[in-house]
Amino acid sequence: MKRHPLVEKLWPEIETAVKGLGFELVQMTFGGHPGAAALTVYVDRPAGVSADDCAFAAEHLSVLLDALDPVEGS
């Protein structure tokens, strides 16, 4: 399956970040309607992933993505 160019660009950065948080990057997608597109990051680890884990990862990735600013506009 071909990845979106933004996913290809961000994969190394996101993978490094989630590894540092103790997760494995399983999949990442980008898409949706213009102005409402979303980047979705799927993580896992041997013990499984809880909702709190997802919130923890999302908070850290949000800071990284704000710094990288990979998408034009808001």
Burial of 13 (0-12, 13-18, 19+ CB in 10 A): middle
- Are the C-beta atoms of 28 and 35 separated by less than 8 Å? no
pLDDT surpasses 80 at 1? no
Which pLDDT score is estimated for 73?
Answer: 66
Give 6-48 pLDDT, tens digit per residue: 999 999 999 999 999 999 999 999 988 877 889 999 999 999 9
- pTM, two decimals, is 0.87
Query: How many Å apart are CA 38 and CA 16, to the nearest integer?
Result: 20
Tell me the pLDDT band of 74, cut-offs 50, 70 and 90: low
